[in-house]
Structure 1
């Protein structure tokens, strides 16, 4: 069943940025002894599934699974619009894109391996886009419409807590000025659900 966030009650532009900062510490320690799920471990998601070629179209469908962005290209032209489809069994997923500063030279892999540096980098940042989707339901465009409007490098993550109830999370996000306070484990990016997109003029 799909939950709709009314336009006036959508998450604030800084909600996901705040969630990232809060959850980075959680992601570094909440995965127990399974080192394959820790931030900085070899990604089990994006790195293994993204395409290595540029898209020459203007619309890209990215499929969220547990826990990867399938079809996330490495490079797209300015004006490309991303749509998010959730093909997971139960988990709510989001696609949050942050434009990295022009003078930032570290790769996404290096940034994800250093939670404190990433937290500092994103602390004051506003996401370019935030797309959410429940399994089998239409996406919710919480920030932007999924269009990359400016050239640069973008970090793409999913920061939804693992195991969070989708309806509970969306209801909390619609009424919260900060990270939704819901039960759940490590954020999805701690399991490898992250990527990097180069947007070219």
Structure 2
């Protein structure tokens, strides 16, 4: 996967988390996210131990091939299967037992606090050969519960969004047309790291 500069990664994360406030108003009538489809993890031998790798697909508007659980140390990859939409996988380790649908109805500041900092962020424009690693390397090291989300605005132009992230120079991307984040349309799921 391609790595981007730390400044660009910071801008992407700030922009992604900043979009929560715009999208998380009163979602009392919001639908519960659809379950992600599941594919078993792949195991590869790396010397003295086996490493687990899973590749999760981003589609309009959901995640596919998400295992229910993976062992600690699993490396997650991301592949955007959309022909038109920019998608991302943002993984947060949760320290709460609250159901996912309840978490998503929390006020923006409370949701921000609950999610904390992302463990990994990967994004991929449509047609790009590989995902861009913005935060972390995709490895889920700590056991626990993780939520996977996409914060790209609905209807955002992929080129415009990527240009805004680059121009933000470590701040929140500005001036990107679009609606609420993809997670509000169902692009959110969870998995457990054992």
- TM-score, normalised with respect to structure 2: 0.81
Query: What do residues 136-193 of structure 1 show as CA deviations (whole Å, max 9, x unaligned)?
Result: 2110001111111111111110000011111221122234223311111110000010
**TM-fit CA distance, 1:8:** 4.7
Q: Pairwise mapping of residues 27-176 of structure 1 onto structure 2 (< 5 A)?
A: 27-28=23-24, 40-44=30-34, 47=35, 49-51=36-38, 55=41, 57=43, 58-101=52-95, 104-116=96-108, 117-122=110-115, 125-137=116-128, 138-176=130-168
**Structure 1: which 5+ runs fail to align?**
none
The structure-2 alpha-carbon separation of the partners of 1:5 and 1:56, relative to structure 1 and needing over 3 Å to count, comes to closer
- TM-score, normalised with respect to structure 1: 0.79
1:195 counterpart residue number: 189
**TM-fit CA distance, 1:199:** 0.6
More strand by share: 2
**TM-fit CA distance, 1:114:** 2.4
Whether the 8 Å contact between 1:100 and 1:155 is mirrored in structure 2 is yes
Distance in 2 between the 1:41 and 1:173 partners? 30
The structure-2 alpha-carbon separation of the partners of 1:16 and 1:7, relative to structure 1 and needing over 3 Å to count, comes to closer
1:24 counterpart residue number: 20
DSSP-derived class of the 1:197 partner:
strand
Whether the 8 Å contact between 2:150 and 2:187 is mirrored in structure 1 is yes
Query: What do residues 31-70 of structure 1 show as CA deviations (whole Å, max 9, x unaligned)?
Result: xxxx9xx8841224xx1x332x864631111111100000
Please give the root-mean-square deviation of Cα atoms over the aligned residues, in Å. Answer: 2.6
Whether the 8 Å contact between 1:54 and 1:75 is mirrored in structure 2 is no
